[in-house]
Chain A
Amino acid sequence: DGGITQSPKYLFRKEGQNVTLSCEQNLNHDAMYWYRQDPGQGLRLIYYSQIVNDFQKGDIAEGYSVSREKKESFPLTVTSAQKNPTAFYLCASSIGGHFQETQYFGPGTRLLVL
């Protein structure tokens, strides 16, 4: 089955620790995205990638980093510089890199701070 997978489902971060969230897709989509969802707020874009080996900052990139070494994979690292990381993190993909295109979401990772 084609789709987007995210792991882990839940992730706990200790003070000062970097953690990495995994996102994999087998839809052969060119573009991938990372969003953060907080209660009462709309989805906010962290980073996006329209092509392998290239990515762009979104609205709230500070404290996060990404890589896009393979078309199928777009991992997100939450660094210790992100002071309020508790949120629901959503990975999405679209066929091309245009924002007018439909984005499909993975199941999400919930990050909690210990």
Chain B
Amino acid sequence: QKEVEQNSGPLSVPEGAIASLNCTYSDRGSQSFFWYRQYSGKSPELIMFIYSNGDKEDGRFTAQLNKASQYVSLLIRDSQPSDSATYLCAVGGYQKVTFGTGTKLQVIP
């Protein structure tokens, strides 16, 4: 079992729809959770971080964390073609931070 798992996609959604990206992790001691956006050929850019169970909203983005289920998600409302990118989930603990392989999102105009 991978330490951080993401569906590689591509996930295709029409413009204006909600995109839902999911991530599961194996280390129950994990404390911090990050979502990065990476455009093709570019470096990862931080979208959101979340530390506590529940939802955290920032503009069109909502991060959801459920530590009991070891599950973190990112919702993107009113998806735009400019949101088309690979989204990396990262999980931080005492010893290290582990990155998932990313989910490729395609927003269709």
Contact = CB atoms under 8 A, between A and B. Distances in A.
A43 B101 CA distance: 8
A104 to B, nearest CB: 7
B100 A42 contact: yes
Interface residues of B, number: 26
Contacts of B34: 102-103
A107 interface: yes
Residue of A43, A59, A107 contacting most chain B CB atoms (<10 Å) = A43
B98 A42 contact: yes
Interface of A: 40-43, 45, 59, 90, 98-108
Given A98-B94, A107-B42, 4 more contacts: A59-B96, A99-B95, A102-B49, A108-B43
Interface of B: 4, 8, 31-32, 34, 36, 42-46, 49, 51, 88, 90, 92-102
